[in-house]
Structure 1
Amino acid sequence: MLHFRTQGCNGSAVKYSPFFDNRLAISSSANYGLVGNGRLWILELTPNGIQPMKDFTTQDCLYDLAWSELHENQVLTASGDGSIKLFDCTANDFPIQNWKEHGREVFSVNWNLVTKDRFCSSSWDGTVRVWSPHRQQSLLTLPTHSCTYSAAFSPHSPDLISCVSSDSYVRLFDLRTPASASNHLVAQIPIHAAPTVPAIPGQPGIIPPAAPPAEALTHDWNKYRSTVLATAGVDRAIRTFDIRAPQQGPLATMIGHEYAVRKLAWSPHLSDVLLSASYDMTCRVWTDQSNIGLGNGNMDLMRSGPAGPSVGMELGRMGRHSEFVTGVDWCLFGNEGWCASVGWDENLYVWDVRGVMS
């Protein structure tokens, strides 16, 4: 397990470079992101451990980041002053671009993996915005009317955007549809609603109770199953959904965290495995058990029935952090299992998931 101290800065997110197997970026803030400066760290994994390559100080807290899919040295940051900044590792200590249209804190940024000249952002102002790095103004504004903690392009489609927000909904926007009055909104999935359960012939229908709504803080698209995404938040439960059947309710539910789940990341190597980072100071690795018996990618096994959603299983946990864990990401290169995590304890850990699995 490798370690690096973000001295004086509490981590908020960590991302591996899509271009270099030994490069990481961390967004962080002074005073736990409540007030004060932010700092973007660019780090390299070397034979002598983790070494800082570059860092940039900002006037306000940084809550998230995303590597550019166009330029290997550029990183986006989401700031507490409502701005989005683009930094270049080869430039001096200032952003090469700055966008500011959001009215409140920007809490997430995400780069389009398919059409690589687009990225999106979400904010506490109740909007998701779509941007081009080549334009100063946003291309599109998608209203959610609720504090939006996480937004992401589908890794399988350049036109699908999902987001989760404080009102406990997953929203799906399809930019191919006419804007009209719906602003490209094509689905709105209540995360905590009871699933629609068809009655069994000869038996009374059973409607399981709905969970009380709670803020959804994070979500992620499955890298192999194009219609599956996972959500999590304040109620501590991780749920997976199939966007083809929003009324069906969760495909799988994973329960075990003791406090809110702050970050989710599906594995880039295995279709059934995901990582979570939580305010209970642990990172945990899970399987939604979708590959049992029928092989990866077969959704029939995962469909909810009268008994409700399938139950995922915790495979292991990493408990080295001593404060809230706020970010986790998988390494895209090499042997499957390497990941990185950051937290409010000013620590980055690079570790092998296989080392914590039971």
Structure 2
Amino acid sequence: MEMNHQPRPPIAFRSPGRHGYAVEFSPYLPQRLAVATAQHYGIAGTGTLFLIDITPAGAVLLATFDWREGLFDLTWSESNERLIMTGSGDGSIHLWDTNCPTDPIKTFKEHSREVYSVNWNQTREQDFVLSASWDKTIKLWDTNRDHSLQTFVGHRHNVYCAVWSPLVPGCFASSSGDGSLCVWDVRRSEKPRFLIPVSKADVISCDWCKYDQNILVAGSVDCKIRGWDLRNPTKILFQLGGHTHAVRRIKCSPHSKTVLASSSYDFTVRTWDFARQSTPLETIEHHSEFVCGLDFNMHVPGQLADCAWDERTVVSTPKSLAALNT
């Protein structure tokens, strides 16, 4: 079926009493997304996973999934369109079946502190999930087993993010409160292959270029976005400035090699082309609180979803991204 990629007005979904931490489009259905949220800004209370369809008439809530602690991240399965993994404030991760909106079909509890990141392997060589925690560790999971396969230790502070390379099987990157990025190979060692000093501030987010296996980007509390070519990791490839508070999440475009988007505690989402300029292509201001979650729709060029502590998830096609895809 041919997709209509014309820009549409922004569509917002409200999650009353639940503050947005992560949003991700389904890799299977272009209109579907999930949002991980927490009560009381994640400081206390419960968490809810929302399953939503975006239609021409607006956002349609399909199901909700509740957990006893806040949910800080989510990742869709790359092998089963019904499965979603979430990470929680109590150190657990959960496997949900979207056809069964009750309890998780599996819960894994090995981390001793908050799980701030979960990520499903995209290469499909093996069906693995990463979890990154404030207990300074990263764990590797096979959802068919009851215990983690490996624990990766190398950071000296909270691990905020761990994300698989979309192009190199078994390779992933992680970012931490110790101001560093680490690059790992699960087939070789439980220690990092190398470490990149990024900043004196916490490095909250990282992501891989979808078209060049050597390009890795990171966002930090110092408001900067930086990129590296791993063939020469001692030299910064680019640095982008514009945010006025911590860069909470970075996502590289699945449609353009040099385009990325970022969300921040300055209440904005910004788009960038690191090959053209070091300032934002566009600053998007449709939130009134910290913007924590961000994702590109791989099926619809130029479409973004973001979620914030203002209890709103917004799906939009920023002008800067629409222009790049015309």
Q: What TM-score, normalized by structure 2, do the two folds share? A: 0.93
Q: Match for residue 224 of structure 2? A: 237
Measure how far apart 1:176 and its partner are.
Answer: 2.7
CA distance in 2, matches of 1:138, 1:279: 33
Counterpart of 2:302, as a letter, is G
- Show the counterpart of 1:62: 71
Structure 1 match to 2:210: 223
Once the 2 structures are TM-superposed, how far is the Cα of residue 46 of structure 1 from its aligned partner? 1.9
Q: Distance in 1 between matches of 2:180 and 2:137?
A: 14
> C-alpha displacement at 1:73, in angstroms?
1.0
1:265 to 239, 247, 251: 251
* Amino acid corresponding to residue 203 of structure 2 in structure 1: A
1:131 offset after TM fit, Å?
0.4
Superposed CA offset, 1:51-75 (max 9, x none): 0001011100110000011110111
Alpha-carbon shift at residue 5 of structure 1 (Å):
0.3
1:18-167 alignment, distance < 5 Å: 18-114=27-123, 115-143=125-153, 144-167=155-178
Residue-by-residue CA offset, 1:324-353 (whole Å, 9 max, x unaligned): 10011001113x211111000000111002
Structure 1 residue aligned with 2:12: 3
Q: Deviations over 1:289-317 (max 9, x none)?
A: 1xx6xxxxxxxxxxxxxxxxxx6231001
Asked if the contact 1:70/1:116 (under 8 Å) is kept, the reply is: no
The answer to whether 1:345 aligns with 2:307 is no
2:319 aligned counterpart, secondary structure = helix
**Match for residue 198 of structure 2?**
191
Could you tell me which residue of structure 1 aligns to residue 7 of structure 2? none
1:175 is displaced (CA, Å) by 2.0
1:313 and 2:285 equivalent?
A: no
AA in 2 matched with 1:338: Q
1:15: which partner in 2? 24
User: Are the counterparts in 2 of residues 30 and 38 from structure 1 also a CA contact under 8 Å?
Assistant: yes
Residue 301 of structure 1 is matched in structure 2 by: none
Preserved contact between residue 124 and residue 146 of structure 1 (Cα < 8 Å): yes
Specify the structure having the higher radius of gyration (Cα).
1
Counterparts of 2:117 and 2:68, CA distance in 1? 18
- In structure 2, stretches of 5+ residues that fail to align are 1-9
* Number of corresponding residues: 312
What's the secondary structure of 1:342's corresponding residue?
strand
**Secondary structure in structure 2 of the residue aligned to 1:251:** strand
Q: Which whole-Å CA distance do the structure 2 matches of 1:345 and 1:156 have between them?
A: 35
Q: Over residues 7-65 of structure 1, what are the superposed CA-to-partner deviations in whole Å (9 max), with x where a residue is unaligned? A: 11000000000000010000000000110000000000123211000101110011000
Quote how far apart the aligned CAs of 1:356 are: 7.7
- Do 1:12 and 1:29's aligned partners in 2 also have CA atoms closer than 8 Å? yes
TM-score, normalised via structure 1 length: 0.85
Shift of 1:92: 3.6
Distance in 2 (CA, whole Å) between partners of 1:92 and 1:330 is 25
CA–CA distance in 1 between the matches of 2:53 and 2:128? 26
Query: Aligned partner of 1:42: which letter?
Result: L
Given residue 272 of structure 2, which amino acid in structure 1 is its aligned partner? W
Quote the residue 1:323 is aligned against.
Answer: 289
| 1:228-261 per-position Cα deviation (integer Å, ceiling 9, x unaligned) | 011012100000011121222x100000101001
1:317–1:356 CA contact under 8 A, matched in 2? no
